Amino acid sequence: MNGQEIRDRLLHSYERSYDIVKPSEVNGHTYDACASYHESGAKYVLSKKAELWRISCHEHAYFKAVEELNDQDVETFLTDLTEWIEPKVVREGKEVPDTDHMYTLVVEGDSALGSVKLSRDGEFQGIMPVRGKILNCLKADYPRIFKSEIITDLLKVLGCGVEVTGKFVKDLNAFDINNLRWNKVILCTDADVDGFQIRTLILTMIYRLCPTLIREGYVYIAETPLFEITCGEKTWFAYTDKEKNDIVKTLEGKRYKVDRSKGLGENDPEMMWLTTMNPETRRLIKVMPEDAEATAHSFDLLLGDNLQGRKDHIAENGYKYLEMIDVS
């Protein structure tokens, strides 16, 4: 099968749902075809005057068959992408969002991806699912770190490069804060032990590979609720046991229901919007340099190579966590 046949087969798979333009002119260059898809949706409370959330999706796929792909072809397309396709095709005529809407969410796995994807603004808000457990960047050496697809993919999404040099750094540029594609990098994981560990691993990775993001205040943690409390048509979200108990006290004598969160993957888009995406109702924790340093120290102590230090720490502080031990 030659390049033209592969192109035609790909185009055929797009024809059912996409608008096809043949050929397509971009920045003075001719592509064999462009496939475009546009979708929008919204949810309202009772009437369209009370819009709860709105999403829109615009996808563009460009096709060109060549005898042999070379560096010049790739460079030409990347230039077209940054200088023409994104500013002229994707964003043309659209209102530029304020800085509170330009962010990427780093979420825990594909399960959380679905609900977050449905509740975001796909034009300006990105999502990066972390599949599997990320590497411990405090213990691993640089060659091993940069062989991890999870880490390199995340760094490519951020776009700012890394503050590390060496022959092991491949396909990543030197760090430049001006190349960061987002105004905020938000870590969003489940409110359980596994979620906290994944969050810590990601934070440690950023701390070691591009610490300027933390020093300049670009990194945030999204608090996710532990409980959803409903009474009649009203809903409250509690992030701690104390908050839950305080809310329940105000509902004495009334019929109410308390549901414990089973993870981000179980949340519907409406709940994700209210608790994680909406700047007016979400809770974000800004990661400060001292927080990252303390996290790195604690992480190194508890999961690093200092076995004696870990034993001493458990001996001194283990009694504080006896109630959390699962002995079932």
Query: What is the 3 state secondary structure string of 56-85?
Result: EEEEEEEECCCCCCCHHHHHHHHHHHHHHH
Q: Which residue has the higher pLDDT, 22 or 54?
A: 22
| Pick from 197, 207, 218, 169: nearest CA to 296 | 207
| Matching residue, tokens 């109630």 | 323
DSSP helix, strand, coil percent of the chain (3-state; round to 5)? 40, 25, 35
| Pick from 219, 221, 216: nearest CA to 185 | 219
Tell me: the pLDDT tens digits for 57-79?
677 888 888 878 788 888 888 88
Phi, psi of 79 (to 5 degrees): -65, -45
For the segment 107-112, the average pLDDT, to the nearest whole number, is 64
Amino acid at 207: Y
| Matching residue, tokens 């260059």 | 29
DSSP assignment letter at 46: S
Helix, strand or coil, per DSSP, at residue 29: strand
- Omega into 23 within 30° of 0, i.e. cis? yes
What angle do helix axes 307-317 and 289-303 make, rounded to 10 degrees?
100
For the segment 233-256, the average pLDDT, to the nearest whole number, is 88
pLDDT at residue 84 is higher than 50: yes
Percent of the chain exceeding pLDDT 90 equals: 6
Label residue 163 by pLDDT band (50, 70, 90). very high
Label residue 162 by pLDDT band (50, 70, 90). very high
Amino acid at 188: C
pTM: predicted TM-score of the whole model, two decimal places: 0.62
Q: Is 254 exposed, middle or buried (0-12, 13-18, 19+ CB in 10 A)?
A: exposed
For the segment 149-162, the average pLDDT, to the nearest whole number, is 88
- As separate numbers, helices (DSSP H) first and strands (DSSP E) second, the chain gives 11, 13
Per-residue model confidence (pLDDT) at position 93: 43
For the segment 152-159, the average pLDDT, to the nearest whole number, is 87
For the segment 292-315, the average pLDDT, to the nearest whole number, is 76
pLDDT at residue 86 is higher than 80: no
Helix, strand or coil, per DSSP, at residue 219: strand
Per-residue model confidence (pLDDT) at position 213: 92
Length of the chain: 328
Instruction: Write down the mean pLDDT value for the chain.
Output: 78
Per-residue model confidence (pLDDT) at position 49: 47
Per-residue model confidence (pLDDT) at position 180: 87
Tell me: the pLDDT tens digits for 262-280?
677 677 777 777 777 777 7
Label residue 47 by pLDDT band (50, 70, 90). very low
Percent of the chain exceeding pLDDT 70 equals: 78
